[in-house]
Amino acid sequence: MQELLMIDGLQYSNWSPELFRQMREGGLSAVHATIAYHETARETLSRIGEWNRRFEAFPDLIRPVRQASDIRLAQQEGRVGIFFGFQNCSPIEDDIDLVEVFRQLGVFIMQLTYNNQSLLASGCYEREDNGISRFGRQVIEEMNRVGMLIDMSHSAERSTLEAIELSSRPVIISHANPTSFHAARRNKSDAVLRGIAESGGLLGFSTYPFHLRGGSQCQLSEFCDMVARTADMMGIDHIGIGTDLCQQQPLQVLEWMRNGRWSKAKDYGEGSADNADWPAPLHWFRDSRDFPVIVRGLRERGFAEDEVRKIMGLNWLDLLERGTAPRQ
């Protein structure tokens, strides 16, 4: 049987040769790597520089993805392709020209918000959802032009629906789950998920325990049931995996993600001090080596082999091929 092409639609780990080997052991051909949360443009350039050093130091394990076709090359070479994304619009500051600059540097994906109100849209933790701003409308148009995918994973409902309406290209949720499965504020309503599918976009299912019913005790069968129900609603061509793995990261990284520079007090995300630390991992998905477990679970749930291939990677590949080529 031909090897599955598998893509993880989001990770933010403490990158090392050990983790790169785990990715290959798990069968991954490509990973969407977060390179910015609250970083400025200058700081983000340094994050890209750090990745360039990794590509130089570990050429047998990883390769940069400059265009979607590089993912198939990575699979053929036995390496993991890395494509970049922002979980916030902070790196472009208030300069629309930086959208194209960062796309030219290999950034495929940008979230319009990270939980809070940004210059572009409202985050899912804001009391009021103000929708897409004037600047946001311009940035969406520019992202469409240069081939940078719009990601609404941390955005509020009205902002997300407006982004879908405004965008002439597919809009994605790279890492979240349906609210109908678990009512976390970061998860998405059926209206949003239908809108994502209608845009030609994709939902990447998250294995982060705070996004799952039962948290760290969520069972593989429950996860696969969620995938099956969502496939019925969105269509098999509009779902994938976006684990949100944060491997071997210290607590201060979680605090940077949540607090950035905007708060003097700790922000606890989904609720209270009960989740002030990283959650315990799922027993069936601890790291990238467990991707074959998801494959097995989907097969046992009754997905056909071509459907498994789409969910595990081909849908992501198709989306990247359609959504990241610049327009003339």
Instruction: Please report the domains of the chain, with CATH numbers, ordered by start residue.
Output: 6-323 (3.20.20.140)
Residue 277 predicted with pLDDT over 90: no
**pTM passes above 0.85:** yes
Q: How far apart are CA 66 and CA 73, in angstroms?
A: 11
Length of the chain: 328
The pLDDT tens digits for 230-274 are: 999 999 999 999 999 999 998 988 898 889 999 988 887 655 555
Radius of gyration of the chain (CA): 18
Residue 122 predicted with pLDDT over 80: yes
Instruction: Give the pLDDT confidence score for residue 1 in this predicted structure.
Output: 35
Contacts of 210 (CB under 8 A, 6+ apart): 184, 186, 269, 270, 275, 279
Does the CA dihedral 6-49-256-115 come out positive or negative? negative
Of all residues in the chain, what percent carry a pLDDT higher than 90? 91
Residue 298 predicted with pLDDT over 60: yes
Instruction: Give the pLDDT confidence score for residue 274 in this predicted structure.
Output: 57
Residue 275 predicted with pLDDT over 90: no
DSSP letters along 270-322, please? TSSGGGSSPPPPBTTBSSGGGHHHHHHHHHHHT--HHHHHIIIIIHHHHHHHH
Instruction: Give the pLDDT confidence score for residue 273 in this predicted structure.
Output: 52
What average pLDDT score do residues 61-87 get? 98
Cα-to-chain-centroid distance, residue 223: 18
Instruction: Give the pLDDT confidence score for residue 257 in this predicted structure.
Output: 86
What average pLDDT score do residues 15-41 get? 98
Residue 309 predicted with pLDDT over 50: yes
The pLDDT tens digits for 124-150 are: 999 999 999 999 999 999 999 999 999
Of all residues in the chain, what percent carry a pLDDT higher than 70? 97
Q: How far is CA 25 from CA 19, 104, 203, in A?
A: 10, 31, 25
**What is the residue-averaged pLDDT of the chain?**
95
